[in-house]
Structure 1
């Protein structure tokens, strides 16, 4: 059983609640359940400021990433008002997404984290979802990338997981854990965490 590595990409103005679930769920799997799953955080700069102004020092910057070293990419969403799309739509990030997808690796996103996936083209003619409130405004926007939008909390289309609001974040992390381990292991760890 080889080590598994997950890259969590933090664009400026990411939401902390949508980010920390990946660290914690995969951390429990590693520390308490012996799964060799390691997480690297990544951004365009060494320090990334979240939506509500919490700074995170990342492990790696985008130019240091070799996709072949990773089994999955996780993308928390963020707020447009604080500049999320300035980095989420950066060509270098869109290229990274395309490479993860081309190599058949898992991509897990929460809420507006689906937008860079849409913009990169990897969701074209595929099922996905994104933030569902505000009269479906964001889901309509996601459709413009040629996405078959499904108004469900979590949508899995082959290697890609998308979800519709912050509340879904832990379950996206559990879905990712299931893909990296097994249904049985995921259920065990989910129960241990009180979900």
Structure 2
């Protein structure tokens, strides 16, 4: 389980991305049923550290606090000129099997440390070509919100760091804990890493021709076999137009979005109840326990039974 988290504060750290890490991992949400982390800020030379906007933050802990961290996070910062001491902290974290998370241009620090060699990675879409050029041994994906590859998570620009951090909370503490954090932050808890970075209309607006009402209806009827043709009729569109509009508004296909929502629904049922796997599969829309197991293995790298064993008691406590 994720307990100790250290955020690295490099010269030129970007305040928003730094704030994302602090908000997800630095706030005690135990009273709301959420997680509480042993959270620290560390820099190579304790004292004032200048941010990318010119103001300074006073950081009083040095990098030695990272030695036993379960997660080392690297917020965005001005690209270039990374102190070797930060790079060694990341190499040591990888060697002992700790999690490593970067937000936006923080991926360049991971690349400089060699952490991205042989791994899939991403960063802000404006910098993906540069990341691929500077670190050719990394498989850079320019189209996703975040990537997890063997305990290394890289996120795209700015707000996608929230998605990546919530993903890690979900992996380590379960969907219920991630939902508590998301509710407190007033953000959606379930945006999948495979969604596109650049979406024509990232959040469906409540307008007459929006898909928002159809999306709400989909969430209420996840247990049904929802075909694109049926959803298109609900939206008063052709199937082709509906599929195109859905991807433009939500950044993924209807099938992929439904699959992710069904996994989230199944996670909640497994955490908070004791119904049999067949019942959970039916209620979440997978139809059968075998199909649900297939999708859990593919997306979460675990089985529903193992997921319940890990998170069920925690959600009920």
Q: In the alignment, is residue 148 of structure 1 matched against residue 147 of structure 2?
A: no
Tell me the SS of whatever aligns to 1:39.
strand
Q: In the alignment, is residue 189 of structure 1 matched against residue 190 of structure 2?
A: no
For residues 134-193 of structure 1, give each alpha carbon's deviation from its aligned partner in whole angstroms, at most 9, with x where no partner exists. Answer: 6x432333543x101112111111201101211312222212322341222102321232
Structure exhibiting the larger radius of gyration computed from Cα positions? 2
The count of aligned residue pairs is 184
Structure 1 moving runs of 4+ over 4 Å: none
Please name the residue that 1:4 is paired with: 3
Please name the residue that 2:35 is paired with: 35
For residues 17-47 of structure 1, give each alpha carbon's deviation from its aligned partner in whole angstroms, at most 9, with x where no partner exists. Answer: 0001121122153564353312100112222
Tell me the SS of whatever aligns to 1:60.
coil
* TM-score normalised according to structure 1 size: 0.84
Please name the residue that 1:162 is paired with: 154
Please name the residue that 1:17 is paired with: 16
How far 1:132 sits from its partner (Å)?
1.1
Please name the residue that 2:86 is paired with: 93
For residues 79-113 of structure 1, give each alpha carbon's deviation from its aligned partner in whole angstroms, at most 9, with x where no partner exists. Answer: 23xxxx32xx2211111100100111111101111
Tell me the SS of whatever aligns to 1:108.
strand
Give the direction of change, closer, same or farther, for the CA distance of 1:103–1:15 in structure 2 (3 Å limit). Answer: same
* TM-score normalised according to structure 2 size: 0.54
Q: In the alignment, is residue 178 of structure 1 matched against residue 179 of structure 2?
A: no
Give the direction of change, closer, same or farther, for the CA distance of 1:137–1:8 in structure 2 (3 Å limit). Answer: same
CA–CA separation in structure 1 for the residues paired with 2:31 and 2:130: 37
Q: Which moved more, 1:172-181 or 1:157-166?
A: 172-181
Q: Per chain length, whose mean CA-contact separation is higher, i.e. which structure has more relative contact order (CA < 8 Å, sep 6+)?
A: 1
The answer on whether the counterparts of 2:34 and 2:177 sit within 8 Å (CA) in structure 1 is no
Q: Aligned Cα RMSD in Å?
A: 2.1
